[in-house]
Amino acid sequence: MVPSFLSLSFSSLGLWASGLILVLGFLKLIRLLLRRQMLAKAMDNFPGPPTHWLFGNALEIQETGSLDKVVSWAHQFPYAHPLWFGQFIGFLNIYEPDYAKAVYSRGDPKAPDVYDFFLQWIGRGLLVLEGPKWLQHRKLLTPGFHYDVLKPYVAVFTESTRIMLDKWEEKAREGKSFDIFCDVGHMALNTLMKCTFGRGDTGLGHSRDSSYYLAVSDLTLLMQQHLVSFQYHNDFILWLTPHGRRFLRACQVAHDHTDQVIRERKAALQDEKVRKKIQNQRHLDFLDILLGARDEDDIKLSDADLRAEVDTFMFEGRDTTTSGISWFLYCMALYPEHQHCCREEVREILGDQDSFQWDDLGKMTYLTMCIKESFRLYPPVPQVYRQLSKPVTFVDGRSLPAVFDPLRFSTENASKRHPFAFMPFSAGPRNCIGQQFAMSEMKVVTAMCLLHFEFSLDPSRLPIKMPQLVLHSKNGFHLHLKPLGPGSGK
């Protein structure tokens, strides 16, 4: 009788479990259908491209040339149109400056459908925080990007760029085009490690730092793959896949490294001699600034907050800079007349100096215009997502030209333009806190590149735009580099 009773109990338990799963699944489906109905109703006034019955517009977004497809939709459906990733995730894609102003000037939070996946790595830092805690972190971090803090970083940018240029000297001797993207990515991450932790290539001999470098490289790649892989948008499926497990392993390596550096730095700061040495060094690391940050109530960042902000800085600063520099150098190869003008400008600014100084960056007028024009045509971050916390009313507007013309960004022309017509670092209260850091790095790196090399296209391997979280090229950035000789740059 006992075996029969146990069999009956397990059978009943199985039925209850199956029933519970069915009920939960049904409730989830109802929730998704209500969400779909809410989104469809909210965007009902905006016509858009036709959608697949299951995938929405996701398949077209994943295709080669999808950014050009989105631009064509902007002409077909002026001002704004819906985009669907599947049937339950939808966005209103906006193009017109007054539409952008209506959204980005309000400070609405980032869209969780896009950014929640990043939380596993970057935690709840400035990128995804909202409300009073976002405001607190913004105030605490802002001093870390003051001009006086950024000035010494020019030497760091220069040091990392020289390492990259030495590699390019060797590759250029072969007389063949090569893909610059990975080298630019290594340089950008090396720079960030020096600015954040105080060590970069000189510290990569340590296995811990080397593992961290590989983990961050892996995480940025995996997050790009996640965005364009429909099956990974379900967390239950994601964490069962090799992709998900690889992501979790890389997260653990990155977190362990950051936590250990924070512990070591906090312990070191207890020593008066070490504290004075840090205060007198040529530049403060980002971590030192965070550790010393206090709000008006003398409240400092917790260890979890510290890790989140460091990881956010590494995430936001690496891939975007790599994309921006790579597309800029492609533009210089594509438009040699502008490349020549930029080179002549930076040569004149450098003069007899061995390297660029902070004050030189403000003199790079034409180079800055070319950088901004490359941002306009090839935005490092093609989309900036927001989730509206209350309704918004739009007005009408116009579209964008496609010709490379840096003079759009002359002082005279820029003053006539709508402030929300060009926003490579987002806009409004939630704009990119590190934009001065990024632009300073861009100027130093691109100026040094143009001083040392002449860039030209490989017509057989032109880059194919691949918009993900950051604008990449599907086939890399293959350029011919011609060394300009020892007298060209110092």
Q: What is the DSSP string of 309-337?
A: HHHHHHHHHHHHHHHHHHHHHHHHHH-HH
Three-state DSSP at 155 gives: helix
Rounded CA gap, 260 and 267, in Å? Answer: 11
Q: pLDDT, tens digit, for every residue of 203-255?
A: 444 455 678 888 888 888 888 777 767 677 777 788 889 999 999 999 999 99
Residue 155's pLDDT is what? 94
Rounded CA gap, 58 and 44, in Å? Answer: 19
Residue 273's pLDDT is what? 67
Contact criterion met (CB below 8 Å) for 163 and 453: no
Rounded CA gap, 422 and 406, in Å? Answer: 13
Contact criterion met (CB below 8 Å) for 382 and 61: no
Q: Identify the CATH assignment for 96-483 out of 1.10.630.10, 1.10.10.10, 1.20.120.1200, 1.20.1740.10.
A: 1.10.630.10
Residue 1's pLDDT is what? 47
Choose between 336 and 41: higher pLDDT: 336
User: Which ranges constitute the DSSP H helices of 241-335?
Assistant: 242-268, 272-280, 286-292, 303-334
Residue 400's pLDDT is what? 34
Task: Indicate the helix (H) or strand (E) that contains 113.
Answer: helix 112-115
What residues have CB less than 8 Å from 151, skipping those under 6 apart?
358
What residues have CB less than 8 Å from 468, skipping those under 6 apart?
224, 227, 228
Contact criterion met (CB below 8 Å) for 187 and 160: yes
Which residues does residue 297 pair with via DSSP β-bridges, in sequence order? none
251 assigned to a ligand binding site: no
Choose between 344 and 65: higher pLDDT: 344
Residue 457's pLDDT is what? 93
Label residue 340 by pLDDT band (50, 70, 90): very high
Rounded CA gap, 167 and 208, in Å? Answer: 24
Q: CA torsion angle for 475, 70, 116, 314 (degrees, to 10)?
A: 40
Q: pLDDT, tens digit, for every residue of 458-469?
A: 999 999 887 777
* Sequence spans of domains, the chain: 42-95, 96-483
What residues have CB less than 8 Å from 153, skipping those under 6 apart?
195, 283, 437, 440, 441
Choose between 266 and 402: higher pLDDT: 266
Residue 396's pLDDT is what? 46
What residues have CB less than 8 Å from 299, skipping those under 6 apart?
136
Choose between 289 and 296: higher pLDDT: 289
Q: pLDDT, tens digit, for every residue of 367-425?
A: 999 999 999 999 998 877 777 767 766 654 333 345 688 988 898 888 888 888 888 88
Label residue 102 by pLDDT band (50, 70, 90): confident
What is each CA distance from 237 to 176, 230, 234, 240, 289, in whole angstroms?
Answer: 44, 11, 5, 5, 40
Per-chain mean pLDDT for the chain? 84
Rounded CA gap, 218 and 109, in Å? Answer: 27
By DSSP bridging, strand 465-467 and strand 478-483 are unpaired
Choose between 178 and 61: higher pLDDT: 178
Give the CB-side neighbour count of residue 3, counting CA atoms within 13 A.
0
Cα-to-chain-centroid distance, residue 335: 26
Which amino acid makes up residue 191? T
Rounded CA gap, 436 and 150, in Å? Answer: 8
Q: pLDDT, tens digit, for every residue of 294-329?
A: 877 778 899 999 999 999 998 888 889 999 999 999
Two tokens, residue 432:
């990119």
Give the gyration radius of the chain's Cα atoms. 25
User: Which ranges constitute the DSSP H helices of 335-364?
Assistant: 336-350, 358-361
